[in-house]
């Protein structure tokens, strides 16, 4: 299994531009999570999906952020317009289930730099 | 205030030595506690998952303990190797599956 796949691995963009991050979860996993990691705030859960349906988006910082999961094998996290404070590493993770014992598998992350 | 506090923030140990990382939490109600290892430039990898009824869980040279009464957990690394150099993150899961993350402890193992 290839694991969770994210693209791009690095993204540098100018303030005000739209940014789209992509994720392919592990095949057969019902749950997909988007995280953000910064030095100041550590890891933060932004949103998670179950069977392609957003369940909890309370971690999404602003309306500039949106996430979609059009099918079981693809999800996007979009930032529009981007700001320098959005610079962070964004991780996608997937899980077969989401209960007390199930593992989450993280992708390699996308390092976003907004200048 | 963060509901999951980790200590120390960082530590340096010699190869072959043991070390213990601490995690104190105030999250309630509690469902499970997870320790992740994150290598530089990579995503976190799960080491252990413990529910409130479990006191200890091992994964190779990693042993996690949990005291749900005092809301404390520790991660013990035995006979450290250079590959153990990483950030170790404590994550507490509430019954409603909200996650609370610690800031992590950065471990550096030197030859």
pLDDT score recorded for residue B1: 61
Q: Any idea what DSSP says for residue B57? A: E
Q: Which residue of A has its CA nearest to B87?
A: A42
Which residues of B fall within a CB distance of 8 Å from A45?
Answer: 98-99
- Quickly tell me which residue has 């593992």 as its tokens: A103
Chain B interface includes A101 (CB < 8 A): yes
Contact assignment for B46 to A91 by CB distance below 8 Å? no
Give the pLDDT confidence score for residue B96 in this predicted structure: 62
Distance (Å, rounded) from C-alpha B81 to C-alpha A81? 44
Q: Does B104 touch chain A (CB under 8 A)?
A: yes
The pLDDT tens digits along chain B (111 residues) read 668 999 999 999 999 999 999 999 998 878 889 999 999 989 999 999 998 889 999 999 999 999 989 999 999 999 999 999 999 999 998 766 677 889 999 999 999
pLDDT at position A28: 92
| Six token digits for residue A57 | 């988006």
First to last CA, chain A: 36
pLDDT the model gives residue A60: 93
CB–CB of A50/A30 below 8 Å? yes
Instruction: Give mean pLDDT in consecutive 10-residue pieces for chain A, a chain of 115 residues.
Output: 91 97 95 93 92 92 94 97 96 84 88 97
pLDDT in tens, A52-79: 999 989 899 889 999 999 999 999 999 9
d(CA A74, CA B89): 27
CB contact under 8 A, B43 and A103: no
Residues 3-62 of B with CB under 8 A from A: 31-32, 41-46, 49, 51
Which chain A residues contact residue B93 at CB under 8 A? 100
pLDDT (0 to 100) of residue B28: 81
Give the residue among A35, A13, A39, A12 at the shortest CA–CA distance from A23.
A35
Which string of DSSP letters, residue by residue, matches A22-79?
A: EEEPPTT--EEEEEEEETTTEEEEEEEEETTEEEE-TT--STTEEEEEEETTEEEEEE
Option in A56, A91, A101 nearest B43 (CB) = A91
**Chain B closest-CA separation from residue A44 CA (Å):** 7
Neighbours of A28 (CB within 10 A): 10
* Interchain contact, A109 vs B43, CB within 8 Å: yes
Residue A1: predicted pLDDT: 62
Contacts of residue A44 in chain B, CB cutoff 8 Å? Answer: 101
CB B75 within 8 A of CB B61: no
């Amino acid at each position: 299994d290839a694991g969770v796949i994210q693209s791009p691995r690095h993204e540098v963009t100018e303030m005000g531009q739209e940014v789209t991050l992509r994720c392919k979860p592990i095949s057969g996993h019902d749950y997909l999570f988007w995280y953000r990691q910064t030095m100041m705030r550590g890891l933060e859960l932004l949103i998670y999906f179950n069977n392609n349906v957003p369940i909890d988006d309370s971690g999404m910082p602003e309306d500039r952020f949106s996430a979609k999961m059009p099918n079981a094998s693809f999800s996007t996290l979009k930032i529009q317009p981007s700001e320098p404070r959005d610079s962070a590493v964004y991780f996608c993770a997937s899980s077969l289930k989401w209960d007390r014992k199930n593992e989450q598998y993280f992708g390699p992350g996308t390092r976003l730099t907004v200048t | 205030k963060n509901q999951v506090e980790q200590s120390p923030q960082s530590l340096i140990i010699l190869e072959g030595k043991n070390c213990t990382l601490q995690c104190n939490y105030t999250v309630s109600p509690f469902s499970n506690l997870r320790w992740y290892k994150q290598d530089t430039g990579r995503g976190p990898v799960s080491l252990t998952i413990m529910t409130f009824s479990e006191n200890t869980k091992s994964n190779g040279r990693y042993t996690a303990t949990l005291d749900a009464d005092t809301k404390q957990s520790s991660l013990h690394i035995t006979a450290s190797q250079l590959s153990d150099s990483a950030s170790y993150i404590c994550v507490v899961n509430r019954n409603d599956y909200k996650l609370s993350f610690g800031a992590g402890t950065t471990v550096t193992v030197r030859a």
